[in-house]
């Protein structure tokens, strides 16, 4: 490689193209997100999560017959093998659910005799299995870590509603099921984010899809990626009441503290996914009698825009919605994984279909030409 071919280093690889993908596109200048060519606003308004999962994995929106077949496939593979439940029960009570997801997915991989078949069709079958089972792994994994019994999936409910059914052991409020379906759609895919890029790197070694997903879950666990929604809710709880919101934000800004749930590497003038969710924050707040949460969010948004010209990202309204629906905070990032499994899987398939080992270079910053000193002559 000649000097002229070397691309200058950019911290965080910001603005560096790392691959070519037909799955999604963030059109930052327009604050738009598209999945396979379709605007996320149209998909969020008109589709079920199952339709969007089909679109992301198959490359096109399904016909009614295709959707019925896909839905049947998902429902038939929701339940986890006994071996996975045995692993979950062996984990420490109250342990980190993201670590439990990694253990569960790794166990699924060990049980799959086709794990090392990287053909498109084999990977697609595994992607459907992972999409079906990840929500069960999140809900029942959490229940087991809390000392509760797992709940059998309900075949009469859609993917999002069934997740809430397993978590709470009762059929969800229709509005709550609608919100869960919507957040699953909005979290399903988002280009070369940290966890997806981690999956690409792992898959590029010709590791199996389960290994790539285990790595993606590890990347998602970090507070600067998936953990942002949990941190955003903790901030709102610390504020407590709407009358304290502005002073709290101003104090944090004076301390130069990072306020989670605001700003995004891609979106500079607003995350379209957050805009979609905001109206649901009001609706759920009115239904649950938690207008204080809505008001805290509204004040925080206005102050952050006024002081820092920062808009909320999708994690900010999602956190409030989950909290008002009674979902425990430690579940927020795992729910992200239950949705993003579709995007991760599609990217692994894309990587395996046209693979090249991902191996970037680094610029060395250490000393050079140090004289070697034998061991017995070192101070």
List residues with catalytic annotation: 264, 315
Which residues, 6 or more positions from 167, have their beta carbon under 8 angstroms from its beta carbon? 139, 142, 143, 151, 327, 331
| Bridge partner list, 38 | 35
Angle between helices 332-353 and 194-204 (to 10 degrees): 40
- Residue closest to 146 by CA, chosen among 93, 88, 102: 93
Spatial distance between the Cα atoms of 44 and 200, rounded to a whole number of angstroms: 26
**Encoded tokens for 241:** 């009441």
Distance of CA 257 to the CA centre of its chain: 24
Residue labelled with tokens 């425990």 = 328
What is the torsion angle, in degrees rounded to the nearest 10, for the CA atoms of residue 312, residue 313, residue 319 and residue 321? Answer: 80
Q: How many helices (H) and strands (E) does the chain have?
A: 16, 3
Q: Tell me whether residue 155 is exposed, middle or buried, using C-beta atoms within 10 angstroms of its C-beta: 0 to 12, 13 to 18, 19 or more.
A: exposed
Cβ-contact 70, 127 below 8 angstroms: no
Angle between helices 97-111 and 82-90 (to 10 degrees): 150
């Amino acid at each position: 490689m000649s000097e002229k071919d070397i691309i200058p280093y950019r911290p965080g690889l910001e603005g560096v193209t790392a691959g070519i993908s037909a799955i999604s596109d963030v059109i930052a200048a327009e604050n738009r997100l598209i999945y396979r060519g379709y605007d996320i606003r149209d998909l969020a308004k008109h589709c079920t999560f199952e339709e969007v999962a089909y679109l992301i994995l198959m490359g096109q929106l399904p016909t009614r017959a295709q959707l019925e077949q896909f839905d049947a496939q998902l429902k038939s593979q929701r339940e986890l093998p006994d071996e996975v439940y045995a692993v979950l029960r062996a984990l420490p009570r109250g342990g980190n659910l993201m670590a439990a997801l990694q253990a569960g997915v790794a166990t699924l991989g060990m049980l799959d005799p086709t794990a090392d078949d990287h053909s498109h069709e084999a990977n697609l079958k595994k992607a459907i299995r992972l999409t079906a089972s990840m929500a069960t792994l999140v809900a029942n994994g959490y229940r087991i870590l809390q000392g509760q019994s797992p709940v059998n999936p309900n075949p009469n409910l859609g993917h999002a509603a069934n997740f809430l059914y397993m978590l709470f052991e009762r059929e969800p409020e229709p509005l709550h099921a609608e919100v869960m379906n919507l957040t699953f759609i909005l979290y399903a895919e988002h280009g070369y984010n940290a966890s997806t890029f981690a999956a690409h790197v792992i898959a590029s070694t010709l590791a199996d899809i389960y290994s790539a997903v285990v790595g993606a879950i590890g990347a998602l666990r970090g507070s600067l990626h998936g953990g942002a929604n949990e941190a955003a809710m903790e901030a709102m709880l610390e504020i407590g009441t709407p009358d304290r919101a502005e002073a709290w934000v101003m104090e944090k800004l004076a301390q130069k503290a990072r306020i989670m749930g605001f700003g995004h590497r891609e979106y500079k003038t607003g995350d379209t996914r957050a805009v979609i969710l905001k109206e649901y924050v009001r609706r759920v707040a009115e239904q649950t009698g938690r207008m204080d949460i809505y008001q805290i969010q509204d004040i925080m948004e206005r102050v952050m825009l006024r002081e820092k010209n920062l808009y909320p990202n999708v994690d900010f309204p999602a956190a409030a919605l989950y909290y008002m629906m009674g979902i425990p905070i430690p579940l927020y990032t795992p729910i992200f994984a239950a949705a993003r499994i579709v995007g991760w899987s599609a990217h692994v398939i894309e990587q395996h279909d046209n693979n090249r080992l991902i191996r970037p270079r680094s610029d060395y910053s250490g000393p050079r030409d140090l004289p070697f000193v034998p061991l017995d002559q070192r101070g």
